[in-house]
Chains A and B, each alone.
Chain A
Amino acid sequence: MAKLKYNKQGRLLFTKEMKKEYTILCPMMAPIHFRLIVNVMKNCGYHFELLNTTGPSIVQEGLKYVHNDTCYPALLVIGQFIDALHSGKYDLNKTALVITQTGGGCRASNYIHLLRKALKKAGLEQIPVISLNLSFLERNPGFQITLPMIRKFVAGLVYGDALMLLHNQTEAYEVNKGESEKKVEKWISELSEQFNHGRGLSLKQQTENLNRMVHDFASVPIHKVPKVKVGIVGEIYVKYAALGNNHLEDFLRAQDCEVNVPGIMGFALFKVDNRLDDIRLYGGNPVKRFFVQKLMNYLLKMQNILIQAVKAEPRYLAPTPYAHTKSLVKGIIGYGDKMGEGWLLTAEMLELTEQGYENIVCAQPFGCLPNHICGKGMIHKIRAVDGRSNIVPIDYDPSATRVNQENRIKLMLAVAKEKLPQKE
């Protein structure tokens, strides 16, 4: 069995032996993306397992082990971990946890420390926690982020974005209910199968896969009727995770809406681009700029193959190129606003409005600091710039009730429905 090793500051390390023996638990966020990424990580030699759990015990564990004023995503993610560790399903001497860390000025960078505190409180200090980040925070001998890994990871995100987009745009109009959902399942298993054999991750194979995927979805018979089109933006966790937003997407679908959730690639591009903007705004190292620019170009290329693939089918609306998204906020919010979702959140609201998804749910955890600025703080300005936008900000936390949230969303939908005939 792997020995527990600590670094100088006393942090429990994830060792090379652990890589062989341990199961690494990963919290759920965006279901399509994360299922793919878990398989990507398996391909990299890590035994990842995605936590698919739901239920009130997650919130209970969160409330118990996390400071209650901490943001809701931290509470849920940590609650989900502790709940899983307490479930008896895992060998507690052979389990590790993985959590992302952006290293930005938002308190999200501290989730990992809150998680460790929670583990300590729960008497589970032997569980190593791996930080997944691109800021060179917390190194582990048994977990190294390599270039091939980043490449594969990005491939997973691109596939995820594609599937989410195709599913959302098809599902609302499909003739045979459930057909596009089946396609998603089919593609996740096909791609996972490819990953297991080391395929599907090169540029060529990705392009091929994406093209096939788009054509495959395009074969689903649809019946286009005018529907209320709703976009979802917000803090990344409550934006994607059904656990965090009380199954917002399902609720909107049940209200007969077409849902548009901007993809994760935009966020990845934004986070990398921040480093370039930092250098531009405040000055900085040209060598660093060179490498970041390389990574940026790579991500742009990836976004482009996705856009091109979707464009091949006229019935689908492709994602907006990053440069255009970025240009939308010029004069509205500065590019220096980079904590949390930063200016990207504002940009996505403008982009959705421009694309005809002017009815927007802006989701955030109660008291989310960056969203005071780039979310709620910008709605007034967005309306001034583009009067079509119909935005409702919704706060999520353990004590917000679903009835309350849904009532507010219904108000937004009522306004949207009134405008619907005028639009068609």
Chain B
Amino acid sequence: MKIGLDVGSTTIKCIVMDESGNILYRSYQRHYSKITEKMTELLEKVRRDFNLDETAMLTVSGSAGMGISQTCGLPFVQEVYATHIAVDRLIPDADVIIELGGEDAKILFLTNGLEVRMNGSCAGGTGAFIDQMATLLNVSLEEMDQLASKYEKIYTIASRCGVFAKSDVQPLLNQGARTTDISASIFAAVANQTIAGLAQGQPIRGKVIYLGGPLTFLPQLRSSFDRALKVEGICPENSLYYVAIGAAYCGAVQTNLGEALQRIRKYGSTGSFLSIPPLFQSKEEYDAFRQRHSRCKAPRGDIASYSGDVYLGVDAGSTTVKAVLLGKDAEILDSIYQSNSGNPVPIIRDYLLNVFQTYPKLRIVKSAVTGYGEELLKNAFGIDCGIVETVAHFTAAKHFRPNVDFVIDIGGQDMKCFKIRNGTVDNIFLNEACSSGCGSFLQTFASTLGYEIPEFAKLGLFAEHPVDLGSRCTVFMNSQVKQAQKDGATTKDISAGLSVSVVKNAIYKVIRVSNAEELGRNIVVQGGTFMNDAVLRVFEKELGVEVTRPDISGLMGAYGAALYAMGKPAAAESSLIGLEELRNFKHEVKVTNCGLCSNHCRLTINIFGKNRRFIGGNRCERPVTKRNSKDELNMVACKMELLASYRTSQPGPRGKMGIPMGLNMYELLPFWHRFFTALGFEVVVSPLSNRELYLNGQTTIPSDTVCFPAKLMHGHVQALIDEGIQNIFYPCMSYNFDEGISDNHYNCPVVAYYPEVIAANMGSLDGHNLIHDYVGIHRKRDFPIKIHAILQKSFPDITVREVKRAAKEAYAEYAHYMESVRQKGDAMIQEAEREHRPIIVLSGRPYHLDPEINHGIDKLIVSLGAAVITEDVVSRREGRVHTDVLNQWTYHARLYAAAKYVCSRPDMNLVQLVSFGCGVDAITTDEVRRILEDGNKIYTQIKIDEITNLGAVKIRLRSLFAALES
């Protein structure tokens, strides 16, 4: 008898087979992290049912089975290997296996030698991710699959990480996109992520087999893979059990089941974990804590007896909708706090209807809305004003603690913290890259363990040994929690540990402080997550201060909005729609693509009744206002225009030379264009980036954690190949030009050597000539000789004389281009001065010009009324600046100089664009912040990736402008 046991991250699978491989028993169930119990239960059942008194060939597999088998001395086989064994026997003609599990994704290439791929440190695109998305959409997995079958349009969603995807899905929900389309988009994202992340250049062809839970249970997910791979994959019988079957096949050692069971039981009861001191030593301590916090109360009024003017504040957050009605003395008459179930519109409609009908004596004189759904609700109901979240929260916090100097709000998925300086919002911290410190994090765990969140949080208050879980990503926290459970941590300990982790993430990852003094002494905490006493306690303990938590901590946004509305001079009539209109309220959604510029935003058009509508998904105001952008003061657009003249050239006697337009080419194009045209080449530049271009190259990306601008290069090179270009020039460059403002003049390692990655991984380059030699343009005198030797390998007739002349022209052309940029920039600054416009120095790298990379943030800034200037315009005005870091990269030196210059101008502010995964910016951001803060300026950083949450970007920019105004 052979037993195969596959203990995965979320499920446990068991197979019993006889000696000739006939399956006698199979079982598949979720283990809810009770691994040892489930294992014992299963093995006992098998032992009973099959009368296995003595021994059997038991083999364990699976990620969660690894530790147990090791300690208990049970035979173990790695799960991917087990799959390989099983497929070898059952489907010998299979070519590729795609297996998705709870936290793992694997691809096995079987033809031409076994090659296996497993997701690395990222659990994006796995079962856990799909679970998270289903929770977000508030549907079951089956429902999600059904929804997906009725899709019409696919949105781009980053499935790299559940966290990122949430920030893509949430705005879609807020804009009113259909759940059918979103469901299908999520599946498409999973397929893309798996293929892009794991194939790494290996083509997926032939007989493709789908295995594992998600692919078995979700036919629509299989279709998404089919569509992405252009194959028809097979999901065989027993597709859930291949690992267990493989493990059973591997069985070679007889194990005494009785002894094994004993060891497993013993294992379950041993183990130790790192713990931290309990949150409260005693009940008394807790009571004192409750007492202290209960003092901070907002005034209340009785709505039933009230009549006259009231003020409405609405906060449409990422997961919840909040509304508050205030009386004349800022007393709260009524409020709601509700999950938005993906669409806040019907909730507010019902609420308003109810208020109008039940309390006819009330008259809403002014209303304000804030939060993610601000624009949507404002348009849907004619709410008077919309304000940015930070201002709303600050307004509310000030009401409780007039001298407040730090506000931290932890909501469902987002965290907003900001310092207050001179009475304005300054220094905003948002969790753009990571949501591990947020409420939904706790919620996910509570529901995995079978609890409601308030109950779960309470458990932790008196935990004796809170688990030290560190601060890490939600997805990985799963395995960490499992480990702790295995080692004997109770649910109480885990609950407390998770609260600690939420706080640590907030403090050390998002805000990054080392002591409480940095935050000031007057801290107001708010947001739903702080209603949880455990989180509050940990926060106070960690920072060593007593903070203020208003009793309406979850309603602060709405409260602040209402206060704001109250503070505005009342117009004759509120624009809020009346009872009649509410009764006949209609909400229709249409989806379309905007064709007004190269961004091709996917627009969601919401139509409410007769004449109100709201367009979501746009980056700029053009689809709304139809205004021409010609006269905008936008240096990004201007540089793109300057570069456009280098995109084409005359046919030349030496044929075509392709240049992929990305990374440093965004600045060096004038140089190389002139160089090659002078040598008699026709220069062909790859087209502007777009999503399709990126997808065409994505399967050859070997490292999924490299920055997006680098990943795009694969698409650009592919585009040149597809155009039939034989010679492609993309040189390696350790060094850039020395502009005399830094200690050294390197390129970052990725910019410097990415051509090597292209050459080593793009199979489609076979038969093409990729010139990717090392080139030093920083040594003007040596350059012609060196480049001549390089070019001569491909073009033997090129002479040194020719190259020398071409080089001279190229250097001149580059200087001319840089000079034009500066002149245009100077002119724009003058124009902005004349118009008294604020100037934003949008700083980053030359390649942040690419609209696919900057997601139109420049346009967003212009639409907010400012002029956009780039860092290279002003960096020359400042020259060399002293830095506390080694100033050794050409592009980055400009950032420091620009920051320094901005400090000298009251009308200028700096916004830094940072590509996700840019290691160098971990250094520059801190330094740029220091320079700006030393100069009494606000530092604003925007993280951009393949997909960007423009909602968060807007918050930052609007807060910045709000701060500048006051």
Distance between Cα atoms of A359 and B66 in the complex (Å): 21
Q: Which of A9, A63, A103, A397 has the most CB of B within 10 A?
A: A63
Known: A67-B926, A121-B514, A380-B761. Contact between A404 and B121, CB under 8 A?
Answer: yes
**Which chain A residue lies CB-closest to B70?**
A254
Q: Does A337 contact B (CB under 8 A)?
A: yes
Distance between Cα atoms of A121 and B517 in the complex (Å): 11
Q: Does A401 contact B (CB under 8 A)?
A: yes
Check if A387 sits within 8 Å of B732, measured CB to CB: no
Cross-chain contact of A56 among B468, B752, B781 (Cβ < 8 A): B468
Contact residues in B for A56 (Cβ distance below 8 Å): 274, 468, 470
Q: Does A400 contact B (CB under 8 A)?
A: yes
Chain A nearest Cβ from B442, distance in angstroms: 17
Counting contact residues on chain A (CB < 8 A from B), the size range is 35 or more
Chain A nearest Cβ from B696, distance in angstroms: 18
Check if B922 sits within 8 Å of A67, measured CB to CB: yes
Contact residues in B for A221 (Cβ distance below 8 Å): none
Cross-chain contact of B706 among A109, A283, A372 (Cβ < 8 A): A372
- Stretch binding the partner chain, chosen from A28-36, A301-309, A405-413: A405-413
Chain B nearest Cβ from A276, distance in angstroms: 13
Check if B78 sits within 8 Å of A68, measured CB to CB: no
Check if A411 sits within 8 Å of B80, measured CB to CB: yes
- Stretch binding the partner chain, chosen from A38-46, A111-119, A210-218, A314-322: A111-119
Cross-chain contact of A65 among B483, B514, B920 (Cβ < 8 A): B514
**Which chain B residue lies CB-closest to A410?**
B78
Distance between Cα atoms of A383 and B732 in the complex (Å): 23
Check if A336 sits within 8 Å of B113, measured CB to CB: no
Contact residues in A for B746 (Cβ distance below 8 Å): 104-105, 339
Distance between Cα atoms of A109 and B274 in the complex (Å): 34
Q: Does B948 contact A (CB under 8 A)?
A: no
Per the CB 8 Å criterion, the residue count for chain B at the interface is: 78
Check if B884 sits within 8 Å of A113, measured CB to CB: yes
Check if B483 sits within 8 Å of A401, measured CB to CB: yes
Distance between Cα atoms of A335 and B468 in the complex (Å): 46
Cross-chain contact of B756 among A116, A333, A366, A403 (Cβ < 8 A): A333
Check if B508 sits within 8 Å of A366, measured CB to CB: no
Distance between Cα atoms of A281 and B774 in the complex (Å): 7
Q: Which of B79, B80, B749, B752 has the most CB of A within 10 A?
A: B749
Check if B734 sits within 8 Å of A339, measured CB to CB: yes
Check if A387 sits within 8 Å of B113, measured CB to CB: yes
Distance between Cα atoms of A9 and B782 in the complex (Å): 34
Check if A408 sits within 8 Å of B120, measured CB to CB: yes
Chain A nearest Cβ from B919, distance in angstroms: 5
Check if B118 sits within 8 Å of A393, measured CB to CB: no
**Which chain B residue lies CB-closest to A373?**
B753
Contact residues in B for A380 (Cβ distance below 8 Å): 200-202, 702, 760-761
Distance between Cα atoms of A142 and B573 in the complex (Å): 77
Check if B476 sits within 8 Å of A399, measured CB to CB: yes
Contact residues in A for B888 (Cβ distance below 8 Å): 105, 109-110
Check if B753 sits within 8 Å of A399, measured CB to CB: no
Contact residues in A for B114 (Cβ distance below 8 Å): 415
Check if B63 sits within 8 Å of A105, measured CB to CB: no
Q: Does B126 contact A (CB under 8 A)?
A: no
**Which chain B residue lies CB-closest to A10?**
B882
- Contacting residues of chain B (108-124) with chain A, CB-CB under 8 angstroms: 113-116, 118, 120-121
Cross-chain contact of B774 among A334, A367, A371, A372 (Cβ < 8 A): A334
Cross-chain contact of B885 among A110, A381, A414 (Cβ < 8 A): A110
- Contacting residues of chain A (57-75) with chain B, CB-CB under 8 angstroms: 59-60, 63-65, 67-71
Known: A283-B786, A367-B917, A372-B710. Contact between A109 and B702, CB under 8 A?
Answer: no
Known: A107-B923, A399-B473. Contact between A407 and B884, CB under 8 A?
Answer: no
Check if A117 sits within 8 Å of B884, measured CB to CB: yes
- Contacting residues of chain A (369-385) with chain B, CB-CB under 8 angstroms: 369-374, 376-381, 383
Q: Does B144 contact A (CB under 8 A)?
A: no
Check if A407 sits within 8 Å of B922, measured CB to CB: no
Chain A nearest Cβ from B890, distance in angstroms: 10
Check if A283 sits within 8 Å of B785, measured CB to CB: yes
Cross-chain contact of B508 among A68, A278, A397 (Cβ < 8 A): A68
Q: Does B757 contact A (CB under 8 A)?
A: yes
Q: Does A106 contact B (CB under 8 A)?
A: yes
Check if A373 sits within 8 Å of B750, measured CB to CB: yes
Contact residues in B for A106 (Cβ distance below 8 Å): 749
Chain A nearest Cβ from B943, distance in angstroms: 10
Contact residues in B for A121 (Cβ distance below 8 Å): 514
Q: Does B81 contact A (CB under 8 A)?
A: yes
Contact residues in B for A377 (Cβ distance below 8 Å): 702-703, 756-757, 760-761
Known: A283-B779, A413-B78. Contact between A337 and B732, CB under 8 A?
Answer: yes
Check if A113 sits within 8 Å of B886, measured CB to CB: yes
Contact residues in A for B882 (Cβ distance below 8 Å): 9
Residues 26-63 of chain B, each 1 if its beta carbon lies under 8 Å from chain A, else 0: 00000000000000000000000000000000000001
Contact residues in B for A278 (Cβ distance below 8 Å): 734
Q: Does A395 contact B (CB under 8 A)?
A: yes
Distance between Cα atoms of A421 and B285 in the complex (Å): 65
Chain A nearest Cβ from B78, distance in angstroms: 4
Check if B889 sits within 8 Å of A105, measured CB to CB: yes
Known: A283-B786, A377-B760. Contact between A63 and B121, CB under 8 A?
Answer: no
Check if A70 sits within 8 Å of B920, measured CB to CB: no
Contact residues in B for A65 (Cβ distance below 8 Å): 514
Check if B885 sits within 8 Å of A340, measured CB to CB: no
Q: Does B440 contact A (CB under 8 A)?
A: no
Check if A122 sits within 8 Å of B749, measured CB to CB: no
Q: Does B319 contact A (CB under 8 A)?
A: no
Contact residues in A for B885 (Cβ distance below 8 Å): 110, 113-114
Contact residues in B for A63 (Cβ distance below 8 Å): 471, 508-509
Distance between Cα atoms of A65 and B67 in the complex (Å): 33
Chain A nearest Cβ from B87, distance in angstroms: 14
Check if A403 sits within 8 Å of B926, measured CB to CB: no
Check if B121 sits within 8 Å of A400, measured CB to CB: yes
Check if A67 sits within 8 Å of B470, measured CB to CB: no
Q: Which of A69, A376, A378 has the most CB of B within 10 A?
A: A69
Q: Does B735 contact A (CB under 8 A)?
A: yes
Known: A68-B509, A121-B514. Contact between A336 and B774, CB under 8 A?
Answer: yes
**Which chain B residue lies CB-closest to A377?**
B757
Known: A367-B917, A399-B476, A411-B118. Contact between A373 and B754, CB under 8 A?
Answer: yes
Check if B747 sits within 8 Å of A403, measured CB to CB: no
Check if A70 sits within 8 Å of B923, measured CB to CB: yes
Contact residues in B for A152 (Cβ distance below 8 Å): none
Chain B nearest Cβ from A63, distance in angstroms: 5
Cross-chain contact of B919 among A367, A373, A399 (Cβ < 8 A): A367
Check if B920 sits within 8 Å of A366, measured CB to CB: no
Check if A105 sits within 8 Å of B747, measured CB to CB: yes
Distance between Cα atoms of A383 and B472 in the complex (Å): 34
- Contacting residues of chain B (183-220) with chain A, CB-CB under 8 angstroms: 200-202
Distance between Cα atoms of A404 and B923 in the complex (Å): 29
Chain A nearest Cβ from B544, distance in angstroms: 14
Distance between Cα atoms of A381 and B706 in the complex (Å): 18
Check if B922 sits within 8 Å of A70, measured CB to CB: yes
Q: Which of B114, B121, B201, B747 has the most CB of A within 10 A?
A: B121
- Contacting residues of chain B (459-490) with chain A, CB-CB under 8 angstroms: 468, 470-473, 476, 479-480, 483
27 inter-chain pairs at a CB distance below 8 angstroms, sorted by A residue, are A56-B274, A67-B923, A68-B508, A69-B919, A101-B886, A105-B744, A105-B748, A110-B888, A116-B884, A137-B886, A282-B782, A282-B786, A283-B779, A284-B782, A336-B774, A339-B749, A367-B917, A368-B919, A372-B705, A372-B749, A373-B754, A378-B760, A387-B113, A403-B63, A406-B66, A410-B78, A411-B116
Closest A-B pairs by Cβ, 5 of them: A283-B782, A282-B776, A336-B774, A399-B472, A105-B746
Listed in ascending order, the chain A residues whose CB lies under 8 Å from chain B are 9, 56, 59-60, 63-65, 67-71, 101, 103-107, 109-110, 112-114, 116-117, 121-122, 137, 278, 281-284, 332-340, 366-374, 376-381, 383, 387, 393-395, 397-401, 403-404, 406-408, 410-411, 413-415, 418
4 A-B pairs besides A378-B756, A398-B472, A407-B118 with CB distance below 8 A are A68-B922, A122-B514, A334-B774, A369-B920
